Amino acid sequence: MGTDERLWSETPERIPEGRPCLIVRPRDGGGRVGRVLPDVVRYLRDSAVRPVVVKARGAGEGGARAREALEAGGRFLVSVGGDGLAREVVAAIMESPVANEVTLSVLSAGSDCDFVKTFGLPPDTAIAVPRLLTGTEYPVDVVRVTCAAHGGGTRVTHFAGLAEVGLWGVATRRAGRLPARLGRSRSFAAFWWTMATFRVPEMTVTADGRSYRGRAHGVVLGNTQQARGGIRVSPRSFPGDGVLDVLVMRGPRSDQYTLLPRMFMGEQLPNPGIVELRARERVEVDGSRPQWIQADSEPIGLTPAVFEVLPQALRLKV
């Protein structure tokens, strides 16, 4: 079903209490999000709920639309799309003075959204949409990141899923710069390009005072478990326990594909090539040269970086 442009609206000056605001990136999932949106809106309207539906066209616009909705009184935001959009909406909420009044829900709507998988939310839109009305609010941890911004200066942002520093930070950035027409093959091409060219740096990782210093091709910081299309990259993470799981990948780069079958099952730990750390307060990551950071499938900046745990800072409806 094609997208009906009559579904879209600008964020109104005032959003009545309890009315959901759907922030939608229709191109996510190869355009599947835009195609299933009419069914989502129809279900809500048939349930006597009239959502505000706002379009986020590209990277960065989701955060702007979320901020506008919050300023208009919106207190129930729904991210409809992939991980990058969800991260932008989370950051907008956490940077708002009304963050403690807001409830978030995430609907993958045909996109490959890893964030919802930790919570067992179904990928089938017809099954997932009713949870917007009947789901339970669950407090989840959020991570505040202070890092070096590309081009100079400092950036402060937030995520509620999973971040990676090093090899996968580079690969994620490269994938985003390849032509969109390549679809999912962008990630495949970017990964092998990075594997062929990545120089393993010396890394320093400190988690609540406990440190690792040495060569490492990557660092995983897991609040949720899954990334890269459903791989359980941080299998021991639980998003409401006030703990950030840190995995320092000190083994050979080839671990990124030789461990893959075990990673899909979350069975790669314990492993001599992976150093496990945990933090309830903060993690500091630096390298012998600046390393790219990706959070929830989106490049956010470079090392040096500080990751601070904000326990149960966000209400998520699941």
Q: Taking 50 as the threshold, does the pLDDT of residue 96 lie above it?
A: yes
pLDDT in tens, 164-200: 999 999 999 999 888 877 777 888 899 989 999 999 9
Q: Taking 80 as the threshold, does the pLDDT of residue 60 lie above it?
A: yes
**Quick one: pLDDT at residue 316?**
96
**Token digits of residue 305:** 């970086």
| CB neighbour list of residue 8: distance below 8 Å, 6 or more residues apart | 53, 54, 55
Span 69-74, average pLDDT: 94
Per-residue confidence at 100, pLDDT binned at 50, 70, 90? Answer: very high
Measured CA to CA, the distance from residue 142 to residue 161 in angstroms comes to: 8
Q: Taking 60 as the threshold, does the pLDDT of residue 4 lie above it?
A: no
Measured CA to CA, the distance from residue 299 to residue 150 in angstroms comes to: 10
Radius of gyration of the chain measured on its C-alpha atoms:
19
What does the mean pLDDT of the chain come to? 92
Contact 154, 303 (CB under 8 A): no
Measured CA to CA, the distance from residue 191 to residue 232 in angstroms comes to: 17
DSSP for 7-44, please give it.
G--PPPS-PPTT--EEEE-TTGGGGHHHHHHHHHHHHH
Q: Taking 70 as the threshold, does the pLDDT of residue 291 lie above it?
A: yes
Contact 255, 222 (CB under 8 A): no
Q: What share of the chain is helix, strand, coil (3-state, %, to 5)?
A: 30, 35, 35
**Quick one: pLDDT at residue 229?**
84
Measured CA to CA, the distance from residue 310 to residue 312 in angstroms comes to: 6
**Token digits of residue 238:** 């639980």
HEC profile for 151-212? CCCEEEEEECCEEEEEHHHHHHHHHHHCCHHHCCHHHHHHHHHHHHHCCCCEEEEEECCEEE
For the whole model, what pTM was predicted?
0.93
Q: Taking 50 as the threshold, does the pLDDT of residue 3 lie above it?
A: no
pLDDT in tens, 297-309: 999 999 999 999 9
Q: What percent of the chain has pLDDT over 90?
A: 78
Q: Which domains does the chain have, with CATH numbers?
A: 5-135 (3.40.50.10330), 142-312 (2.60.200.40)
Q: Taking 80 as the threshold, does the pLDDT of residue 253 lie above it?
A: yes
Tell me which amino acid residue 72 is.
Answer: A
pLDDT in tens, 107-158: 999 888 999 888 887 777 888 999 999 999 999 999 999 999 998 999 999 9
**Quick one: pLDDT at residue 257?**
87
